[in-house]
Amino acid sequence: MPQKPLPPSSPESNQGDRNTQEFEEAFSDVERSLQSLLERYHQVQRDQQRQAQLQQRRQQIKQELHRTSSRRSLQAELKQLKEQLETIELNLESQLFSWGSLKEPFWQAIRFGGLGIVLGWILKSCAN
């Protein structure tokens, strides 16, 4: 027997609207996450290119240090390049660890760890 279409004010229709809204919100979250990932990817690419350029320049300066007598300016530039390389390396290493990636596991550990402690207290009080 065919079913009649439900009127717009029925609970089933409201549930469908709610499901559609939840799907759209989830899709928007995925879109934002993907955009964030893409931006981070581009940043890593830029940092890697800059790192390669700085390392190449550092090698040039080291070679020039052996050949020339104007060592002070070259040593100052070498020190500056070293600091920039360290900063870039730190940025590249931080790509794997961020609060955003650790936030959910952290709170789950807190939640379930706390639940375990509470259950332990309950079981201990029941055993006495």
| pLDDT given for residue 86 in this prediction | 86
Question: Quick one: CA dihedral 82, 86, 89, 91, positive or negative?
Answer: negative
The winner for highest mean pLDDT among 3-7, 94-98, 109-113 is: 109-113
> What is the tens place of the pLDDT at every residue in 15-62?
778 888 888 888 888 888 888 888 888 888 888 898 889 889 888 888
C-alpha to C-alpha distance for 22 and 18, rounded to whole angstroms? 6
> What is the tens place of the pLDDT at every residue in 51-106?
889 889 888 888 887 777 667 788 888 888 888 888 888 777 765 556 666 677 77
Is the distance from CB of 7 to CB of 13 less than 8 angstroms?
A: yes
| pLDDT given for residue 9 in this prediction | 56
| pLDDT given for residue 66 in this prediction | 76
What tokens were used for 69? 């007598």
3-state secondary structure of 83: helix
CA neighbor of 48 nearest in space, from 95, 97, 89, 96 = 89
Is the distance from CB of 91 to CB of 97 less than 8 angstroms?
A: no
| pLDDT given for residue 77 in this prediction | 84
Q: Band of the pLDDT at 5, cuts 50, 70, 90?
A: low
Alpha-helix residue ranges (DSSP H) falling in 1-128: 11-67, 71-93, 99-127
